[in-house]
Amino acid sequence: MSESEFTKEKKTSSGWKQEKGEPSLREVHKTMAVPKNGSFFRKLLAFMGPGYLVAVGYMDPGNWATSLAGGSAYNYSLLYVILISNFMAILLQGLASKLGIVTGRDLAQACRDSFSKPVSFVLWILCELAIAACDLAEVIGAAIALNLLFHIPLVWGVCITAFDILLILFLQSKGFRYIEVIVIVLISTITICFGAELIMSQPDMKEMVKGFVPDGEIVKNPQMLFIALGILGATVMPHNLYLHSSIVQTRQYEDSPAGKKEAIRFSFIDSTIALMLALFVNAGILILAASAFYQHGHTQVAEIEDAYKLLGPVLGTGIASILFGVALLASGQNSTLTGTLAGQIVMEGFLNLRLKPWVRRLVTRFIAIVPAVIVTLLYGEKGTSDLLILSQVILSLQLSFAVIPLVMFTSDKRKMGEFANSAFVKILAWAVAGVIAVLNAYLLFTTLF
């Protein structure tokens, strides 16, 4: 048997079309050391970071409107929806990190290596639309925060957010750990702001606990169901699955079954802790809306600007509004840090095409800023709110095109070997994929028609 025949057979038996090509995010691939004989906490510290970059997408400005609407209209009743959404996210992000660690491929590379070129191209287009939509939500969120805090016109706020490219390029030149540290600091800022506001709002603890228990009212109330679907649709972000499968490979874990098993375990702990923080923030927004608005008769608060203006008078202190605005600004800026990485990953993964980071960032920013500027000039605050909702619909539409391949690949023993999903995980993962597909399709239909 010739070498070429052996290679061809090896490719077929491994379940992939070809051997591994270029590593994902080549400039930072395996650049962060992991202690071989350190304690549990030292190793966990070495693996901490990627989970927080992923968690950013679960607390971006796009999630705020649905949580505000749910809390102001239905008190604490929809807290269990946020909880269930978070558990779905923990499962899917765990699968994404496992795919990257075991195969050495990110989700985009895995798609290119498993599907035909036309299918991969369509998936890339859909993913780019999702990233642009997410970037749009972040641009609008940051612009709204600048307007509320410093009275900067929305149009100028949108333009100012374009300059975060300079921060991205500076951090990338210093090393990947700097990006992770900045993200963790901003997440901590958001968490502290909402923690303080929850103390000020004095929520009803008994009713809050009851809110985490599912009830049947959601089936009888179509509007309540719509908001719940919005919360579900806005929680799991498709580009986060591509992002996580790549950035876990920045760690220098051993390329052996034992090394991969250890990396999977610590990466799962990292992402679970980070996503529990995201749960606190998203639940905190809903709890704040319930205790500050619903309890005081303001049951139609669905827009960020209205929430900002009402918080101070309702809670009796202007600090509440300021903390809300600071958290929103941190959320918008935080999310932009991961947008470039996700865009780079999907472009390189699907097309095997590399662009310089600053070029990629300019392209992404241009796609997000142009519609935001046009809508803001023509329609003002109302237009930006509608654009924010549209961005979430686009994200919902694309989600299944990322989730289904992820579950397919991680359940395939030819591709994953001994690390393929167990029967229980496989059933659970397909059930989650099915629920997401049905709910997002329904959300899209009801939003459009």
What one-letter code names the amino acid at 390? L
Which residue matches tokens 């986060």?
Answer: 240
pLDDT digit string (tens) for 384-418? 666 666 676 677 778 889 999 999 999 999 999 99
Q: Are 86 and 305 in contact (CB under 8 A)?
A: no
- CB of 154 within 8 A of CB of 143? yes
Whether the per-residue pLDDT at 110 is higher than 80: the answer is yes
**Residue 229 forms part of a structural domain:** yes
Q: Is the pLDDT of residue 96 over 90?
A: yes
pLDDT digits (tens, 9 = 90+) for 286-320: 999 999 999 888 888 877 888 898 898 988 888 99
Q: Please tell me what DSSP assigns to residue 49.
A: S
Residue 4 within a domain: no
Structure-token match 């502290």, residue found: 192
H/E element holding 133? helix 117-150
Domain that holds residue 130: 36-448
**CATH number for the domain that contains residue 318:** 1.20.1740.10
- pTM beyond 0.95: the answer is no
29 by DSSP, 3-state: which?
A: coil
Token couple for 93: 């992000």
Of 286, 333, 327, the closest CA to residue 190 belongs to: 327
User: Residue 87 domain-assigned?
Assistant: yes
Question: Given this model, what pLDDT does residue 259 score?
Answer: 95
Residue 387 lies in a domain: yes
pLDDT at 8: 41
Half-sphere exposure of 405 (CA within 13 A, CB side): 23
Tokens for 25, please give them.
């995010």
Q: What is the pLDDT of residues 178-218, one digit of tens each?
A: 888 888 998 999 999 999 999 999 999 999 999 999 988 88
The reply to whether 77 falls in a domain is yes
> Contacts from 212-218 at CB under 8 Å and sequence distance 24+?
212/79, 212/80, 212/83, 213/80, 214/80, 214/84, 215/77, 217/77, 218/77, 218/78, 218/81
Q: pLDDT at residue 222 above 50? A: yes
Q: Give a yes or no: residue 27 inside a domain.
A: no
Q: Higher model confidence: residue 183 or residue 93?
A: 93
Q: Which residues contact 208 (CB under 8 A, 6 or more apart)?
A: 76, 79, 287, 290
Q: Check residue 352 and give left, alpha or beta (phi > 0: left; psi -120 to 50: alpha).
A: left
Q: Which residue has the tokens 């765990």?
A: 94
Q: What is the DSSP letter of 161?
A: G
For the cut 70, the answer to whether the pLDDT of residue 381 exceeds it is no
Enter the tokens of residue 418: 């001994």
In whole angstroms, what is the distance from residue 317 CA to residue 314 CA? 8
Q: What is the pLDDT of residue 43?
A: 94
pLDDT grade for 3, boundaries at 50, 70 and 90: very low
For residue 1, pLDDT beyond 60: no
- Give the pLDDT of residue 249: 96
The one-letter amino acid code at 203 reads P
All residues at 6 or more sequence positions from 59 whose CB lies less than 8 Å from its CB, including other chains = 187, 190, 278, 281, 282, 331, 334
Number of independent structural domains in the chain = 1
Examine the pLDDT at 7 and tell me if it is beyond 70.
Answer: no
CB neighbours of 429 closer than 8 A, spacing ≥ 6? 91, 92, 95, 407, 410, 411, 421
Residue keyed to tokens 């009275």: 151
DSSP letter at 36? S
Contact (Cβ atoms closer than 8 angstroms) between residue 54 and residue 186: no
What average pLDDT score do residues 6-10 get?
A: 38
pLDDT at 357 over 70: no
Look at residue 13 and tell me if it is in a domain: no
Split at pLDDT 50, 70, 90, the class of 106 is: very high
The pLDDT-based confidence of 41 (bands split at 50, 70, 90) is very high
Q: What dihedral do alpha carbons 176, 179, 181, 185 form, nearest 10°?
A: -170
The confidence score (pLDDT) of residue 101 equals 97
Q: Which two tokens stand for residue 88?
A: 């779905």
Structural domain contains residue 287 = yes
pLDDT of residue 49: 94
